[in-house]
Amino acid sequence: MSLELLQPRFGKPGHGTAVLRTPAERLKIEDVPQAALARLRRALAAEGAPAAEGDSVAGGPLGDTSHHATTDAAGLSDLGPPAVDWTQAEELAVWHLRLLGYPDARCTRGGADSGVDVLATGAVAQVKHWAQPVGQPPLRDLFGVGQAAAAKPFFYSLSGYTPQALEWANATNMALFAYSADGRVLAQNSAAHMLAPSSARPGGGNLGFFEQARADRYRRELEKLRQEINDLTALMHKRTQSRRPAVRRSAGEAASLLLSASRALDGGDVLPPADRRREDFHQVVREALKQVKRLL
């Protein structure tokens, strides 16, 4: 059996076509996610099946059986080595950091690492293979280590992050990633998306002119909304000191809305920079801030 993987010119973004050939027949499967194509290629390679040369997908020949960054339909993920346990998870983080441009990334197992699981020149990373989302304290600890070492901090979590952790990471511009047992790495905030290699972006390369313009607009809107939240939060705190019970009650309602608005921004920040779904999150925030202004 041989395998040929194709990327049709007008195919669905993030999808390709698999052509399986046997002595008796030829089977063509269309609209297959590229992550699945990569796994199929590696599985057949492990069985000794040859792969025919095809069009390139996500930065390399499809017939190549080595690891390449691959993207799903949303263009959000890299597919690396599996991470079934914590040791493999650290190896996945090493692989991903090398993909991001840190060729000397290595695990720190076996020594005093100050809470750092992966080291590289100019980068430190921590990996949490936990069943629950990572909170703010581990992020603060890693940030402090990075500051002391003049290195950029990266965080990898199996189960994502709490809203408080996302808020703190966005305020400090720390890149957050989540990963899955099959080796999929997902950017969790804007800082992580901006670091994604070109092969992990939609279309397998840099954003087009219109996509880049849309991404820049979303970034400006995000910064404006965050500043507005900060200004209204400061005003809300002043209102909580009022001697009038009605004013304090309104400030309490505003505090709840401001927290929801901040978390909505963080939720949208998980999406790629030019993803149109960001508009929905921004609209939710605008509506919440309108209510806050009426309350204050």
Amino acid 39: pLDDT: 65
Sheet of 26-33, strand order: 26-33, 15-21, 2-6, 51-52
- The reply to whether 171 falls in a domain is yes
One domain for residues 131 and 17: no
Q: 286 to each of 189, 261, 265, 281, how far by Cα in Å?
A: 20, 8, 10, 9
- The reply to whether 194 falls in a domain is yes
CB 157 within 8 A of CB 136: no
One domain for residues 110 and 130: yes
Return all residues near 38 (Cβ < 8 A) that are at least 6 apart.
57, 58, 68, 70, 79
Amino acid 133: pLDDT: 92
pLDDT tens-digit series, residues 68-119: 333 333 333 457 888 999 999 999 999 999 988 898 999 987 544 467 999 9
One domain for residues 166 and 228: no
Amino acid 282: pLDDT: 92
Identify the sign of the CA torsion 88, 61, 20, 11: positive
Quick count: other Cβ atoms within 10 Å of Cβ 294?
10
71 alpha carbon, distance to own chain's centre: 12
Helix (H) or strand (E) holding 181: none
One domain for residues 271 and 159: no
One domain for residues 127 and 17: no
- The reply to whether 215 falls in a domain is yes
- The reply to whether 70 falls in a domain is no
Residue that is last in its domain, among 14, 35, 61: 61
- The reply to whether 37 falls in a domain is yes
Amino acid 71: pLDDT: 38
One domain for residues 170 and 263: no
Q: 58 to each of 64, 76, 201, 217, how far by Cα in Å?
A: 12, 12, 9, 26
One domain for residues 188 and 228: no
Return all residues near 8 (Cβ < 8 A) that are at least 6 apart.
16, 17, 30
Residue that is last in its domain, among 204, 235, 270: 204
Return all residues near 209 (Cβ < 8 A) that are at least 6 apart.
none
**Token pair 């194709």 is at which residue?**
6
Q: How far apart are CA 206 and CA 289, in angstroms?
A: 34
Q: How is residue 248 written in tokens?
A: 């304090």
- The reply to whether 143 falls in a domain is yes
Domain enclosing residue 213, as ranges: 209-295
**pLDDT means over runs of 10, the chain (296 residues):** 58 62 70 64 59 38 35 47 91 92 85 74 93 93 91 94 89 91 88 66 56 86 90 92 91 90 82 84 92 92
pLDDT tens-digit series, residues 111-146: 444 679 999 999 999 999 999 999 999 999 999 999
- The reply to whether 67 falls in a domain is no
Q: How far apart are CA 169 and CA 194, in angstroms?
A: 14
